[in-house]
Amino acid sequence: MYFESHAHYDDRAFDKDRHELLEKLQESGIDIIINAAADLSSSKEGIKLAKQYDFFYATVGVHPHAVEKLEDDHIHILRKYILEPKVVAIGEIGLDYYYEHSPREVQKKWFEKQITLAKENKLPIIVHSRDAAKDTYDILQQHASTLYGGVIHCYSGSLEMAKEYVDMGFYLGVGGVITFKNAKKLVEVVREIPLTSLLIETDAPYLTPIPHRGKRNDSTMLPYIAQAIADIKQISLEEVVEQTRENGRNLFLPK
Ligand code: NI
Mean pLDDT (the chain, rounded)? 96
Q: What does the alpha-carbon distance between residue 26 and residue 20 come to, in Å, rounded to a whole number? A: 10
Domain range summary for the chain, segments of one domain joined by +: 2-252
Query: If you measure from the C-alpha of residue 167 to the centroid of ligand 1, how many angstroms do you get, rounded to a whole number?
Result: 24
Asked whether the predicted pLDDT for residue 27 surpasses 90, the reply is no
Query: If you measure from the C-alpha of residue 8 to the centroid of ligand 1, how many angstroms do you get, rounded to a whole number?
Result: 7
Query: If you measure from the C-alpha of residue 27 to the centroid of ligand 1, how many angstroms do you get, rounded to a whole number?
Result: 24
Residues 6+ apart with CB under 8 A from 231: none
Q: 184-192 and 159-167 are packed helices; what angle lies between their axes, rounded to 10 degrees?
A: 40
Query: If you measure from the C-alpha of residue 124 to the centroid of ligand 1, how many angstroms do you get, rounded to a whole number?
Result: 16
Q: What does the alpha-carbon distance between residue 52 and residue 189 come to, in Å, rounded to a whole number? A: 37
What is the CB neighbour count within 10 angstroms for residue 138?
A: 10
Tens digits of residue pLDDT in 109-164? 999 999 999 999 999 999 999 999 999 999 999 999 999 999 999 999 999 999 99
Inter-residue contact 189 to 165 (CB < 8 Å): no
Query: If you measure from the C-alpha of residue 130 to the centroid of ligand 1, how many angstroms do you get, rounded to a whole number?
Result: 12
Inter-residue contact 97 to 131 (CB < 8 Å): yes
Q: What does the alpha-carbon distance between residue 130 and residue 96 come to, in Å, rounded to a whole number? A: 5
Tens digits of residue pLDDT in 222-239? 999 999 999 999 999 999
pLDDT of residue 16: 97
Inter-residue contact 10 to 37 (CB < 8 Å): yes
Does domain 2-252 fall into CATH 3.30.70.100? Answer: no
Query: If you measure from the C-alpha of residue 196 to the centroid of ligand 1, how many angstroms do you get, rounded to a whole number?
Result: 22
pLDDT of residue 217: 97
pLDDT of residue 175: 97
Query: If you measure from the C-alpha of residue 7 to the centroid of ligand 1, how many angstroms do you get, rounded to a whole number?
Result: 6
Query: If you measure from the C-alpha of residue 235 to the centroid of ligand 1, how many angstroms do you get, rounded to a whole number?
Result: 27
Inter-residue contact 84 to 53 (CB < 8 Å): no
Query: If you measure from the C-alpha of residue 142 to the centroid of ligand 1, how many angstroms do you get, rounded to a whole number?
Result: 24
Share of the chain above pLDDT 70, in %: 100
Asked whether the predicted pLDDT for residue 26 surpasses 90, the reply is no
Specify the higher pLDDT residue, 248 or 255: 248
Query: If you measure from the C-alpha of residue 91 to the centroid of ligand 1, how many angstroms do you get, rounded to a whole number?
Result: 9
Segments of the chain assigned E as strands: 2-7, 30-35, 56-60, 87-96, 125-130, 150-152, 170-174, 198-200
Query: Residue 246: in which H helix or E strand, if any?
Result: helix 237-252
Share of the chain above pLDDT 90, in %: 93
Asked whether the predicted pLDDT for residue 93 surpasses 90, the reply is yes
pLDDT of residue 255: 82
Tens digits of residue pLDDT in 155-192? 999 999 999 999 999 999 999 999 999 899 999 999 99
Query: If you measure from the C-alpha of residue 125 to the centroid of ligand 1, how many angstroms do you get, rounded to a whole number?
Result: 13
Query: Residue 245: in which H helix or E strand, if any?
Result: helix 237-252
Residues 6+ apart with CB under 8 A from 153: 5, 6, 36, 91, 92, 126, 127, 128, 173, 201, 203
Query: If you measure from the C-alpha of residue 20 to the centroid of ligand 1, how many angstroms do you get, rounded to a whole number?
Result: 22
